[in-house]
Amino acid sequence: MALMKVFSRANLSFESGDGATLYDKDGKDYIDFTAGIGVNSLGHSNKTVKKAIFAQSEKLIHASNLYQNEAQEKLAKKICELLGREMYAFFCNSGCEANECAIKLARKYGATKFENKKYEIITLSNSFHGRTMATLQATGQDKFHPDCFAPYMDGFKFYDTIDEIIENIGDKTVAVMLELVQGEGGIKPLEVESVRKLARVLRDKGLLLITDEVQCGVYRTGEFVTSQLYGVKPCIITFAKGMAGGIPIGCCMSVGDWFGTGDHGSTFGGNHLAMSVGLAVLKKLEKLKKDGDLDKTIANFTKKLDKMVAKYPNLFIKRTGLGLMQGLVLKEASNLGKIYESAMKNGVLILKSGKDTIRFLPPLNISKAEIYEGFKRLEKALEEF
């Protein structure tokens, strides 16, 4: 076997896809409620994505950041337009890279804006911010901190609640990093007023609020960024996953251009292909939102989830989440893996989150027919289970 054994892969391989439907090598179809873990925001083989890839690949794929890149400027301006405010962009290749950039930015800010250096970043328990050494330590789950990878970076702390975070802001604290909806930790939206309170405290102290919107951003929860739903304006926002419809991308947006030349960089990040596809995807998603199609899809999907909770009270406690980042919380955590396998066998793909939650991240343009068929198959899986 030539591959490292870092993934627990299902015995399933796909050869093609169309919309929210995937096909294996035998032609069997699967309704995809995962979108490549929130990446394929416009589904599979989407015309907008294919057209953008083809058009840009005929001209230029990569030239490096040694030269001016108009495609980066266009995408950065589009993001600022959707945010409704001016910010500075750094483009990279993934969510953990975007978060690494945010961490370095915060430390540069803390080293240059205060008389005594501030470098500590506080996060929430149950959070997930990536798998690089810095983002692992920013992740507030002990299971991601095994001794084999120690020693870890200093300068990170995590607490169970936002009130605890506020109480523990110290002389070395420079920033708080939050997932407004915890993706790997059980699809848990944070309490709105607590987030607003934290934002006010940080602003008054001249400290930074960082929102990790790698999974919950780019219209996944109904607005371009979840922070718009919460009524806060973070100092730094990180993106990845659904921004380019399947092409690797990451983005860190900041209210301040605190880096100097050479402070940070990326070889592949922000190349012409990723930028052009990202711009096309954002324009298409913006149209879905403006036309009301996204909100209708969210309402339809949510209604189906609520029906599942009502029909299977012996299995589910509640629905959780926002927009098309949703979960069903199980009464018995031991059932999570069994339901995951049963769903796959019946031709519908779902995800796990935390210890006891089924996670749903369907394409944002999933059709009514695919939603209907997917839940029909999921119900069959639950009946068999």
Mean pLDDT by 10 residues, the chain (385 residues): 89 97 96 98 98 98 97 98 98 98 98 97 96 95 93 95 98 98 94 98 98 98 98 98 98 97 97 98 98 98 98 97 98 96 97 96 98 98 89
Residue type, 214: V
Residues 86 and 226 in one domain: yes
Residues 158 and 279 in one domain: yes
Q: By CB neighbour count within 10 A (0-12 exposed, 13-18 middle, 19+ buried), where does 290 fall?
A: exposed
Give the angle 76-77-79 at the CA atoms, nearest 5°: 65
Structure confidence at residue 385 (pLDDT): 74
Residues 21 and 166 in one domain: no
Q: Which of 290, 325, 351 is the last residue of a domain?
A: 290
DSSP 152: P
C-alpha to C-alpha distance for 55 and 110, rounded to whole angstroms? 43
Residues 247 and 309 in one domain: no
Residues 73 and 25 in one domain: no
What residues pair up with 172 in beta bridges, in sequence order? Answer: none
Residues 186 and 84 in one domain: yes
Residues 299 and 360 in one domain: yes
91 lies in a domain?
yes
DSSP 123: E
Residues 67 and 194 in one domain: yes
Residue type, 277: V
* CATH number of the domain where residue 354 is located: 3.90.1150.10
Residues 140 and 152 in one domain: yes
H-run or E-run covering 239: strand 236-239
Count up the domains in the chain and report the number. 2
C-alpha to C-alpha distance for 359 and 340, rounded to whole angstroms? 10
19 lies in a domain?
yes
78 lies in a domain?
yes
Residues 243 and 297 in one domain: no
Residues 257 and 314 in one domain: no
Residues 119 and 28 in one domain: no
2 lies in a domain?
no
Q: Which of 290, 317, 348 is the last residue of a domain?
A: 290
Q: Which of 242, 271, 290 is the last residue of a domain?
A: 290
167 lies in a domain?
yes
9 lies in a domain?
no
43: tokens are 């589904």
Structure confidence at residue 308 (pLDDT): 97
| Residue span of the structural domain in which 29 resides | 14-46+292-384
C-alpha to C-alpha distance for 73 and 225, rounded to whole angstroms? 20
* CATH number of the domain where residue 242 is located: 3.40.640.10
Rounded to a whole number of angstroms, the distance between the first and last alpha carbons of the chain is: 33
351: tokens are 């995800």
Structure confidence at residue 1 (pLDDT): 66
